[in-house]
Amino acid sequence: MNSITLLALEKFPDQLEQYFNAFADNKRHWSPESWEGVPSESLNAIEQICHVRDVEIDGYHIRFNRMLSDSEPTLDSLDGYGLVEEKNYAQADPNHVFKEFRAARVETLELVESLSETQLKRAGFFEGYGRLTVAGLVHYLCSHDQQHLSGLQWLLGKIESSNS
């Protein structure tokens, strides 16, 4: 696994928290009139961080385990929008969300860093992505992280633009 991807995965929790903390408390639940052009899911700031936590735990942890234990598994996508209501993101405590996410990311990194070349080459199929390897799944996780940093930055841009 290349070091730049591992470093990005390691640094992401701090980056996510810094981006989130750029939102005034009264803007953490703010949504724009239009989501046109958003580079991530159409989620407000608190929903973004909850989504990232849940995708890590309920998505990628399960996907990595299946890729390593099953032969040629088909991996499901999560209903990210369904989780917003199901897990009541609007009432989430950001400190608790970040605590859970950081613990989950440590677990992810420990797993990924322990994998052999043979394990990294294990293959499967991921709904919406097609055929992939475990190493490819690591890159998709890193890409997902970057989408949500972009989504938060996009929201900040919308907030600034609506204030003028």
Q: What domains can you pick out in the chain, each with its CATH number?
A: 3-29+40-162 (1.20.120.450)
Q: What is the pLDDT of residues 26-61, one digit of tens each?
A: 999 999 999 999 999 999 999 999 999 999 999 999
* Mean pLDDT confidence for 134-150: 98
- The amino acid sitting at 105 is R
Q: Which helix (H) or strand (E) holds 161?
A: helix 134-162
* Mean pLDDT confidence for 138-143: 97
Q: What pLDDT is recorded for position 163? A: 77
The residues with which 132 forms a beta bridge, in sequence order, are: 124
The residues with which 127 forms a beta bridge, in sequence order, are: none
Q: What pLDDT is recorded for position 107? A: 98
Residue 96 has which token pair?
């608790």
Q: What pLDDT is recorded for position 164? A: 56
Q: What is the pLDDT of residues 95-132, one digit of tens each?
A: 999 999 999 999 999 999 999 999 999 999 999 899 99
Q: What pLDDT is recorded for position 92? A: 98
Cβ burial of 119 (10 Å; 0-12, 13-18, 19+) is middle
* 104 vs 73: CA distance, rounded Å: 22
